[in-house]
Chain A
Amino acid sequence: DTAVSQTPKYLVTQMGNDKSIKCEQNLGHDTMYWYKQDSKKFLKIMFSYNNKELIINETVPNRFSPKSPDKAHLNLHINSLELGDSAVYFCASKEGMGKRNEQFFGPGTRLTVL
């Protein structure tokens, strides 16, 4: 009955490959996020969707493409992986725009690019 779940938990892949990370929330929230946490633990927002509509798109390479098939899911597809993409990626959700901004985080996906 995990609130925000991500798969896979660990992902090891070669440079140049394409990979996807999936996120699902069962909280009934309208807004979902992707964050990247680097090796220094700095957490930075990448994307946000509200009811399947993209509302935040920070300065992220075009190789990263989020997809929200419905408001409970937000997936992240990464093309042509680079060494610098190695990080922990967190999905998060919250109730919706204009509501409490408390966010609920998934357990993270540790991506290692070799």
Chain B
Amino acid sequence: SQQGEEDPQALSIQEGENATMNCSYKTSINNLQWYRQNSGRGLVHLILIRSNEREKHSGRLRVTLDTSKKSSSLLITASRAADTASYFCATDGLYRSQKLVFGQGTRLTINP
């Protein structure tokens, strides 16, 4: 069954603005990851946050995790046209196989 749900499904903002995407999940996790997918390409890993962490930064990316609400958010600051892509959260649940379960993604469009 689908684990993650992302909100919004699509987001369109002006270059320079901040973009926030949210992800909710259903079961306990080891960690949560965010990936980017450019049109027609494979997914690229952006950032991983462990279940005992609440916030993590990487460049213009900021990820938060609230395990009590089973939710995470990805903030991209000072957006650029090159940030236009789909963004997926993926949860690493308590599976022996360490499989990732992906959300449906948020399509982000940065308008110049």
Contact surface of A with B, Cβ cutoff 8 Å:
4, 31, 33, 40-45, 48, 55-56, 90, 92, 97-98, 100-108
Contact = CB atoms under 8 A, between A and B. Distances in A.
B interface secondary structure, majority: strand
26 contacts: A4-B42, A31-B98, A41-B86, A42-B2, A42-B104, A45-B99, A45-B100, A48-B99, A55-B97, A56-B99, A90-B42, A97-B98, A98-B98, A101-B48, A101-B98, A101-B100, A102-B33, A102-B48, A103-B43, A103-B100, A105-B43, A106-B42, A107-B41, A107-B42, A108-B40, A108-B41
Interface residues of B, number: 25
A42 to B, nearest CB: 5
A105 B107 CA distance: 19
Interface of B: 2, 30-31, 33, 35, 37, 40-45, 48, 86, 88, 92, 97-102, 104-105, 107
